Each structure stands twice: as structure tokens, then as C-alpha cells.
């Protein structure tokens, strides 16, 4: 089983690149954002609980996200591997994910590096194109601040484990994908 975590701030292109990687390497794309938005849309117990948290651009609790990911992995254990998009977002979640895999299946971490200016432009464009409620100016600013405080420490966590590979996340979708492919090929 080959597993990848695609990492980066909001607007870095994680979802776009994760989908391309999923299709190219036959990996199941697990997007916590998509899974949580589905819960909200279906007005499940979890969806009702996390709706306001997500609308503010804050992180959903570790327990809820860990449980959703664990359930998805258990339901789909026969796949060739997973690409995690938006998970983990905290060190606690990273440790939980490591517990779910054997040593040889622990995910490779690919970090997309994008300037703040580019991130804001991408998020505003995405808001215009998709109408996502969490892509407004106030929420964007909060999401970037939450990322810096709570999620960015994962870079050191994974760097200390020699599992972090940073990639220039600016340029065309295809240029970025080629950079990612090169790193994946080197690690398979």
C-alpha cells in the first residue's frame, strides 16, 4: 500500500493535485473538507456539530476528523493506497494517522509551497467559481491564521521524521503536477 499526504495552506492546490495523483496512481482521494461538507449537506449529527466551526474557518476537533478518516480507511482497506488531502492538520492527528498504518505504509508528505499573495488570489477566484461559503475575505484571513498557528508545525514534525518533501506550488496545474510526479517516482 502506497500512501501520500498532500500538505499546504488553504488555496495551495491540494484538492486539485490530490485528484490528479489519485487518478494517476490509483489511490483513493480522502479529502476531509469534502467529507465534512458532505456531512453538513446531509445534516448528519456530525454535520450539524461542525457547520459553524467550518463557516468560521476554524479546525474541526481532532476526535471528529480522526474518526471520519479511520472509518474511511477501514471501509476501503482493499485499495492500492490513499492520498490524504486536508488531513492531518494537527500533530495529534498525524500521530493518530501513523497508528493506522504499518511502518512501510506510513505516508509520504508532499508540501506545496505557495506565497500568501498567490493563496489569497486563488481562494478569491475559487469563491467566484465555486461559491464556497468559506472563501470570503474574513474566513480566508482566519483560515490562513489557523493554518500558521495550528497546522504549519506539522512541517517540522514530518521534517524531523525525514518524510517531508517541499515542492514549489506555483505555476500551472500541469507544471506543479510534474514536480509532484518526480518526487513520487523517486519514493515508490
The pLDDT tens digits for 100-138 are 887 778 889 999 999 989 998 898 888 777 766 666 778
In tens, the pLDDT along 27-46 reads 999 999 899 989 999 999 98
CA–CA gap between residue 24 and residue 92 (Å, rounded): 30
The most confident of the ranges 68-72, 80-84, 96-100 is 80-84
> 23-50: b or e for each residue (b if 16 or more CB lie within 10 Å)?
eeeebbbbbbbebbbebbeeeeebbeeb
pLDDT at 136: 74
DSSP-derived 3-state class of residue 116: helix
pLDDT classification of 158: cutoffs 50, 70, 90:
very high
* Residue percentage of the chain with pLDDT more than 70: 97
Q: Identify the CATH number of the domain in which residue 67 sits.
A: 3.40.50.300
End-to-end CA distance of the chain: 10
Structure confidence at residue 134 (pLDDT): 62
**Widest CA span of the chain, in angstroms?**
43
Which letter does DSSP use for residue 107 in this model?
A: P
Query: Number of helices (H) and strands (E), helices first, in the chain?
Result: 9, 5
Give the residue numbers spanning the domain of 94. Answer: 4-187
Element (H, E) at 96: helix 91-100
Number of domains in the chain: 1
Amino acid at each position: 500500500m502506497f500512501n501520500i499526504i498532500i500538505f499546504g495552506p488553504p488555496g495551495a492546490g491540494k484538492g486539485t493535485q490530490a485528484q490528479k495523483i489519485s487518478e494517476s496512481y490509483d489511490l483513493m482521494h480522502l479529502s476531509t473538507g469534502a467529507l465534512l461538507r458532505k456531512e453538513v449537506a446531509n445534516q448528519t449529527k456530525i454535520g450539524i456539530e461542525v457547520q459553524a466551526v467550518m463557516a468560521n474557518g476554524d479546525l474541526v476537533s481532532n476526535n471528529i476528523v480522526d474518526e471520519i478518516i479511520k472509518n474511511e480507511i477501514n471501509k476501503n482497506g482493499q485499495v492500492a493506497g490513499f492520498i490524504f488531502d486536508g488531513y492531518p492538520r494537527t500533530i495529534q492527528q498525524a500521530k493518530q494517522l501513523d497508528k493506522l498504518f504499518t511502518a512501510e505504509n506510513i505516508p509520504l508528505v508532499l508540501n506545496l509551497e505557495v506565497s500568501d499573495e498567490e493563496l489569497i488570489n486563488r481562494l478569491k477566484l475559487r469563491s467566484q467559481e465555486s461559491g464556497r461559503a468559506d472563501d470570503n475575505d474574513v474566513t480566508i484571513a482566519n483560515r490562513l491564521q489557523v493554518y500558521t498557528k495550528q497546522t504549519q508545525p506539522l512541517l517540522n514534525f514530518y521534517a524531523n521524521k525525514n518524510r517531508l518533501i517541499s515542492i514549489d506550488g506555483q505555476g500551472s496545474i500541469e507544471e506543479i503536477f510534474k514536480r509532484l510526479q518526480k518526487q513520487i517516482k523517486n519514493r515508490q
